[in-house]
Each structure stands twice: as C-alpha cells, then as structure tokens.
Structure 1
Amino acid sequence: MNAQTLAYAAPLARLLLSAMFIISGLQKITGYAGTAGYMEAMGVAPGLLPIVILVEVVGGIALLVGFQARLAAFLLAGFSVVSGLLFHLIPSFGMEDAMAAQGQVISFMKNVTIAGGMLMVVAFGPGRVSVSRKEAGLVPAE
C-alpha cells in the first residue's frame, strides 16, 4: 500500500470503530428509562448508566477525532469485553432457546472482535490524520 492509502485507512478505521459507540450512547440518552430497566433486568445497577453513556459518547468522539486515541481505544476495548460478558455471553448460558443463545454468543463474539480492532489502535496509534499528532508519532516526544 502506498503512503496516501495508509494515511486515510486509520481515520476511516476510527470512524467505523467509533460510530457504534457514539450512536449507542446517544440512543441510551433518548431511551434512558428503557435502558436503565434493561440494565436492572440483567443484574447491572442502573445507576451506572450515566457512566456507560459517558464512556460510549466521550470515548467514541475521542477515538473518532484521534484525541488520546490509544487511551480511548483501550477503555472502549475493555468496555466491549465487559459489556459482552454481562449482556450477551453470561445470559446465553441460561437460555432454553438454542437459536436465541447462539445469537447472544455471536453478539459476544462481535464485542470481542471490536475489542481486537480497538487494540490495533492501542498498538499502532491514531494515524497521521488525528488531533493528537504527538501520539501519532509526528511530533517528537518530550
């Protein structure tokens, strides 16, 4: 691949990885009561919802623009795995409907895959087109 292609691959990857978190966080704001009820039904304290929204929206935006992208990606990777365990994998164990359980396992694997993409950002940085040019390796570290 040439340098120009690589220059645009990282911001495109950040856009694709961050979109789900930003949209999901905003949907939790507009459907706050329903989301809190769902969390409670899954055994998760609904009082954690503001933190979840903050992580998704702020973390997603930080990743999108490339501001502290490694930190944002690391936090979103952990969030993806934990939420996948709590809301998909663990509940799948008690399901009588095999197809529903399989769907939950697939959703968990989606979360793990997203975490893998986030760890690529942690490993390789936000790329040349980002707010944090120092983090991208374009400005010498102090």
Structure 2
Amino acid sequence: MSSSAIATQNSVTTQNSIATPQISSAWLPAAADLAGRIGLAVIFALAAINKIQYFDANAAYMASGGVPAALLPLVIAFELFGALFVAAGLLTRTTAFALAGFSLVTAAMFHNNLADQIQFLMFFKNVAIAGGFLVVAAHGAGRFSIDSWRATKARR
C-alpha cells in the first residue's frame, strides 16, 4: 500500500459505508465555537450601534410596535453587552438563551407581516439566529472562552 493510501486510510473512518474525515486537531472545534459565537454576536453589536446612530428613528419604530420608546436605551445595552458576553464567552449559556428569546420576541413583534417578502426574510433570520443561540446555550462557549478559563481556574 502506498504512503498516500495509508495517510488517506488513517484520516478517514468508514461508518455505514460512508467515508467521513476525522478531525484530528483539538483546536478546530474550539476555533469553530469561537468563530460561531463571534458571528452571532456581531449582528447584535451592529444593531446596537445602529440604534445609537439613529436613536430617534429606532425609538419611533419601537413605538410603532407597541414598545415604549423609553426602553430603547435598555435594548441598546442588552444588545451590546449581550454581544460582548457571547463573543468573549462570559456567562455564555445564560446570555445565549436570553438573546435567543429576544430574537424570537422581536421576530414576532416587528417582523410578523409574512406576506411582505422582506418581513418574511427578517422573521426567519431572527428564527435562525435564535436557533444558533440555542445551540450555544445547549453546548456552552467552548475552550476559547472566559467561561472555560474560569472553570479551569476553579478546578485548580
């Protein structure tokens, strides 16, 4: 058997006659967890910045959905700190669960006109984001996180 065939054989497992590549590096899942958390967090950080830049327009939009405009500073803080916590991996499960709920509530309140194609897409974008946050809430932040660092420190 050639050396390339042996290398291929060692890097692939056969399960039910389907070849699946093996992830031999421990850092890859941790890096994927970090990249996924950052990807989810970025949309909330950008939304918070948008709400600050266009404060009056966002306050009016919230009021049109029945949410008091006076709550806008709290929404901004929630989005911004939630994004920072998830990206850093701090209190990740709780924060991800809260952001999932927030995504579903905002979908129902502000993107409920499913006959409008844009609102239809925005609604399901929020549902998809909530799904991503629920995965993070279920599995935790991963190795590259403050939560992991704190857990390792507590075990010592």
**Which of the five TM-score ranges fits, normalised by the shorter chain?**
0.7 to 0.9
For 1:121-140, what aligned pairs fall within 5 Å after superposition?
A: 121-133=136-148, 138=152
Matched, 1:112 2:127: yes
Q: How big is each residue's C-alpha offset from its partner over 1:26-45, in whole Å with a ceiling of 9 and x where there is no partner?
A: 11112111110111122221
Distance 1:86 1:47, change over 3 A: same
- Structural RMSD (CA): 1.7
- 8 Å CA contact retained: 1:128, 1:138: no
Number of equivalenced pairs: 132
Instruction: Name the % identity.
Output: 38
1:103 aligns to 2:126 (yes or no): no
Greater RCO, 1 or 2 (C-alpha within 8 Å, sep 6+): 1
Displaced runs of 4+ in structure 1, greater than 3 A? 137-141
Q: Deviations over 1:47-98 (max 9, x none)?
A: 1111111110000000000010111101100000000111101xx16xxxx5
Say whether residues 1:20 and 2:35 are aligned partners: no
Deviation string for 1:92-141 (max 9, x for gaps)?
Answer: 16xxxx5xx12212211110110010011111100000011267x64667
TM-score (norm: length of structure 1): 0.85
Per the normalisation by structure 2, the TM-score is 0.78
Structure 1 unaligned regions, length at least 5? none
After TM superposition, the structure 1 stretch with the greater mean CA deviation from structure 2, 1-10 or 62-71, is: 1-10
Residue in 1 aligned with 2:78?
A: 55
CA distance in 1, matches of 2:33, 2:120: 29
Partner of 1:64: 87
Structure 2 gap ranges (5+): 1-22
How far did residue 7 of structure 1 move?
1.6
Q: Secondary structure at the match of 1:44?
A: coil
More strand by share: 2
Separation (CA, whole Å) in 2 of partners of 1:21 and 1:48: 16
Whole-Å Cα distance in 2 between the matches of residues 59 and 37 of structure 1? 23
2:68 pairs with 1:45: yes
